[in-house]
A = this chain, B = another copy of it.
Amino acid sequence: MEQQVLFTNAVGQALEQILKQHNGTVFTLTDDNTRREVLPRMACDALQNATHITIPAGEQNKSLGCLASVWESLQQSGANRHSLLINIGGGMITDLGGLAASTFKRGISFVNVPTTLLGAVDAAVGGKTAINFGGLKNDIGLFSEASHVIVSTRFFDTLPQREILSGFAEMMKHALLDSREEFFTLLDTDFSAIHTDTWLPRLERSVQVKQRIVAQDPYDNDMRRWLNAGHTVGHAFESLAWSTERDIAHGYAVAWGLVVETVLARMMLKAFPGDDLQQLATFVRQNYGAFHITCDDYDTLLDFMRHDKKTRRGEINCTLLSDFGHAHADCSVTDEDMCAALDIYRDLMGI
C-alpha cells in the first residue's frame, strides 16, 4: 500500500478517518512531553479506546531499552498483527516507534504524527526507522513506511525558537534542492507564523521535495544521497561540538554545513552565483549565529568527515549542489579544498 501523507491542521479529524478504516486495536506512542502537551489537544474521540504507551523524552532514550519496553507494552496489552501504532512526537518517537511497529509480530501498521518542524519535514516521511546503538546514531533500524503521515503546524506553538530554526534548516536544504525561486520565497517568509495555517503550504512544498527524491531511491543507494547536502560538514560540526561539550542542535549544524558545502560547490563545480551564496550566508549568520572554529580545529574536523558513515575508502565525500534543484552525490573533496572552504566560511560568518 502506498504511503499517504496528509497536510492538515485538522489532525483529530484526519486520525478519525484513518481509524474508521481500521479494524484492529489501536495504540499510541508518545514521550512524556508529547503525552502531556499534545495528546490532550488531539481532539480525536476514536483515540479514547486506544492504549497509550509512553517513553521518556530525549535522544538518549532512542535506545534498545526503550524499544524493548514498547514491544513489552504492546505484548502485555494484547496487540496482535492487526493492531495499529500511532507515533505522536518528534523524530525520536517516529524513528523508534516505526522500528517497534515494523518488527512486532513481523510488522504491524503504523501512523506518524510529527509534532516538531524537524520531524515533519524530515524524520516522519521517507521510511527510515532507527534507534541509536553502541554510541552510533541510528545504527540499528530498517526501511519501513508509515501507512499514513499527518503533517500539521498545529503543535509548533509549543516549540522553542531553537527547535523551529533547527527544522527550518532542513527546509532550506529542501528549497535549495527545489528551485531558486522557492529558496528565496522561503527565506522571505515570516517564520514567526510557522505554527499557523498559512505555513501549511510551505511545509507541503518542502516535504514534497523529499518525497520526490525518496520515491526515486527509497533504499538510499543513489539519488537519495542528495538529501545529505550540508550534512558531511554538519555532522563533523556536531561531532566537534559534542567532543568539546558544546551543545548544538542538528539543524544549526546543517545550516552551517550548507554554507561550507555551497562554498565548495562554487569552488569545485563552478556552481552557485556569488550573490546567492552571500544571501544564504547572511541569512544563516543573522538567524543561527556562527559555529566558532579556528584553524586548529581543521585536522579534527577532517578526521570526523573521513569517518562519516556514508563514506567509503576513508576519503571525504560531500553532496554538492551543481545548481538550484540539482546535486551531485559522492563528490570526493581533498583536504586542501575543504580547508579553503572552511576559511571562506569563517570570513562569511565574520569569525
Contacts and interface: CB of A to CB of B under 8 A. Distances in A.
Interface string A252-285: 0000000000000000000000000000000000
A212 interface: no
Given A80-B309, A309-B80, A312-B82, A103 B72 contact: no
Main secondary structure of the interface of A (DSSP, over half): mixed
A105 B142 CA distance: 8
A71 B140 contact: yes
B105 A309 contact: yes
Given A104-B140, A128-B106, A139-B104, A134 B75 contact: yes
Among A103, A128, A219, max chain B CB count under 10 A is at A103
Given A142-B142, A309-B80, A71 B133 contact: yes
A351 interface: no
A138 B130 CA distance: 21
21 contacts: A71-B133, A71-B134, A71-B139, A75-B134, A75-B136, A80-B309, A80-B312, A81-B309, A82-B312, A99-B103, A102-B142, A103-B140, A103-B141, A103-B142, A105-B139, A105-B309, A106-B141, A106-B142, A106-B143, A107-B143, A107-B219
Interface of A: 64, 68, 71-72, 75-76, 80-82, 99, 102-107, 128, 130, 133-134, 136, 138-143, 219-220, 309, 312
